[in-house]
Amino acid sequence: MDFEVLPGPSLPELARTALARAAAATVSHASPPSSLPAAIQVPVRASRDGSPVLLAHAGSVLDRRLAAFPEAVTVSVPAGVPYSALRLAGGARPAARDRTAGITAHALAVRSVEFAGAIPARIPLAQYRAAAPDPLWREAPGVLTHLQHRHMTELIDCVRAHGMPQADWVIPRGLDRYGLQLLVLAPSGVAMARLSFPDGPVTSLRDVPASIRTALTCRCQSATGHHNGHAPSA
């Protein structure tokens, strides 16, 4: 089985997912005034159209900076391998103010989107806006931790059965509507592998075949390998 040709999320979908799952962003200007810090961390939310919404404390350095210099703003959030960050650039504008909480929401009018990393990738803006976050992005972190700590033996067996018989260790790195992304360690080196859901992309974990869903969602009681689930046979 050739793992490399299996389908997975598009770059625009990966970008929308990265922003959706981000709790905080780094905000910077192309040419910040010397009296202001080069970059500031701030809570962030994603709007329905994929625009970052920055939640700045009213009257804070960031709130004042965005009000005085709304253009050439870059918002960076973490991204999954092989990228280091997702960067969205554009102009900011105040969108709402919660006087009770002392928060001003600044929405970024996105003009460019790119993944940063060893091999950066620019994403056409129209494709980014037309995409949506992966439907499993909320469940994915918990499921991946669960698999790594409760189902390692089954993951290794599954990878070996699907064309990588020398696999010694498997680290779950991603879960999306297409399947699982795995980091596989073998004597020959390290490789990224993908195990697709057998019936194709899903819209929720309820759509995953029962034999796989049990392993993804069971509540194992022991961290030593004894569990009440089944192998995630892909």
At 177, the pLDDT band (50, 70, 90 cuts) reads very high
Please give the structure tokens belonging to residue 215. Answer: 């392993």
CA proximity to 175, closest of 4, 25, 17, 11: 17
Rounded alpha-carbon distances, angstroms, from residue 221 to 141, 146, 154, 157, 200: 19, 11, 16, 21, 31
Sequence-distant (≥ 6) Cβ neighbours of residue 128 within 8 angstroms? 12, 15, 16, 50, 110, 113
**Separation of alpha carbons 86 and 189, rounded Å:** 28
**Separation of alpha carbons 114 and 12, rounded Å:** 9
pTM of full prediction above 0.75: yes
CA proximity to 198, closest of 183, 182, 180, 221: 180
pLDDT in tens, 204-230: 999 988 878 887 877 664 433 433 333
Please give the structure tokens belonging to residue 181. Answer: 């992304």
At 117, the pLDDT band (50, 70, 90 cuts) reads very high
CA proximity to 74, closest of 104, 34, 44, 117: 44
At 81, the pLDDT band (50, 70, 90 cuts) reads confident
Phi then psi dihedrals of residue 47, to 5 deg: -80, 170
CB 148 within 8 A of CB 216: no
The pLDDT of residue 231 is: 38
Helix pair 140-150, 152-161: axis angle to 10 deg: 90
Domains with residue ranges and CATH for the chain: 11-130 (2.30.110.10), 135-217 (3.20.180.10)
Least confident interval from 49-63, 104-118, 121-135, 157-171: 157-171
CB 199 within 8 A of CB 188: no
